[in-house]
Structure formats: C-alpha cells, structure tokens
Amino acid sequence: MSEALHFRIASYNTHKCRGIHGTISPERVIRVIEELDADILCLQEIVDAAGGTGKYDQARRIAEALPELNVAFGETRPLHGGRYGNMLITRFPIRETRTHDITKSTREQRGVLQCAIEVGRSLVNVFNVHLGTGYLERRRQLEVLIGPEILAQPMLKGPRIVIGDFNEWTRGITTRLLQQNFQSDRPIRNRRSARTFPGVLPILSLDHCYYEAPLKMEGTKIWRSRRAMIASDHLPLIADFRLPAPPLSPSADSLRSGNSADD
C-alpha cells in the first residue's frame, strides 16, 4: 500500500510588496516566502509589470528567485503598464489553470485563480481567493464562488482547497456557507493566534483555508517572523495536509506483482 503524501500550503497577501513603512520590496517578500517552506503558495495582490525602477516587476522577480517552482498567474486588472492579481507557485506540476472574474458592481476588480495540481498520483484543485471589502459585495461574489462556474463545476475531479484573503473579520455569510460544504481551520479562529491583519499587530482574521476529504488537515499556524511582520499588511497563513494515496487500479496491481492477464 502506498503511503500518504504530506504537503504544506500557504496563503499570503503581499499588499503589492509594500511593507509597513511604505517601501515596496519584492526581495523582502521573497525572503518571507523562503521562510514558509510551502509546497503550494497562494499569493494575493501581486503586480506583474516590467520596466521602470523594477519595484512593480514582482511576479517575475519572485519566479526567478525560485526557479525550481512552477508558476501560475491570474490577472484581475491592468496596473502600472502590466497586470495585477493572484499568483500561485508550487513544487508540484500544474496541470490546468483558470482565472475567474468575481467583480461586482463598480467596486475594485477581484478574481479567483484556479489551479489543478498533481500531488503524487492525485489531482488537488486549489482556488486562490481574494474577496472584496464590502459586505454586499462579498455576498454577491460568494454566490458566484460557490456556484457551478467555480467551486461547483460539474466536471471537477479531485478534492478542493479554497484559500486566501476573504476579507471577512466576523463569522458572516461567507464563513457559514463555505463551512456547509467544506471543513476548515475555523476551530482556532477565536484565538488571538489566528489573527493575520494588520501584520505588525494583528487584530483580525481575514485569511482562511477550507478543504474537503480525502484531504486531512494536520495543523495550521500564522507565520510571525520578524520579516513577515514588516513585509506586508497581512501575515501568511500555513496549513499542513495529509493526502492518502489513491488505490491502485487492478492493472497497476498486476504490474507491481509481476503478473499479467495472460498468466
């Protein structure tokens, strides 16, 4: 029997790499990313714009600093002559990516980056989420998020992880509806240790992780290194998972045992 696979996923709103002192530094964010040691990392508020002083060339600089990782970018809107949105980097192969526009009314454009990631012999569907700051805005976005266009896609195969900045600081409709269909790390959410915003002195829990079987969560934590507290206005959220190996097909069992159908 194959052993379960253990992996770490993290979510980090980089605030366009703007630190608490107002300076923009992709290198500072890269050092925080290296500290996380995540197998899958979901980033929000990343700028991908070349030229100028280079401070907005964030996506490329992060990717070049981590050349062994696979990268996907989901554009939310144009910015600084380039694009702005969510980014995913992972040690695992990325088999498919899609970007979903969940913008509502005239508020800031928002998006969800969907990636099908090959974890061992299984596919895991990761949805990198960045919801709006308004209550009614989030409510409308949630209707799209949980609907057939995104989370309830009829042809979706493999377990789902929904992770990111939900901008919900109380137990609101987003939390209630997602918990009806997913498991979560919410049991720790009433503790001070679960707060992620603002980074230097967090008072709110804005960043969350939802998941489903056969994934099994082994634990979550908020990363509070000295660098992380000053690199962005959010602290990274880490979740460690165990994924049981899928059963081998009969043909694979025969090959492993050295038998064939003709024996």
pLDDT given at position 194: 82
Answer yes or no: CATH 3.60.10.10 is held by domain 5-246.
yes
Nearest partner of 233 among 198, 201, 195, 206, judged by Cα: 198
pLDDT given at position 233: 95
The residue ranges of the chain whose pLDDT is under 70 are 1-2, 186-193, 249-263
Question: Which phi and psi (to 5°) does residue 136 adopt?
Answer: -65, -35
- pTM, two decimals, is 0.91
**DSSP one-letter code for 143:** H
pLDDT given at position 52: 72
pLDDT given at position 202: 84
Block residue for tokens 């925080």: 32
Block residue for tokens 């996907």: 72
pLDDT given at position 255: 44
Counting every residue written for the chain, the total comes to: 263
Q: What whole-number distance in Å separates Cα of residue 209 and Cα of residue 162?
A: 6
The structure tokens listed for 127 are 């949805």
Q: What whole-number distance in Å separates Cα of residue 78 and Cα of residue 131?
A: 18
> Domain locations in the chain?
5-246
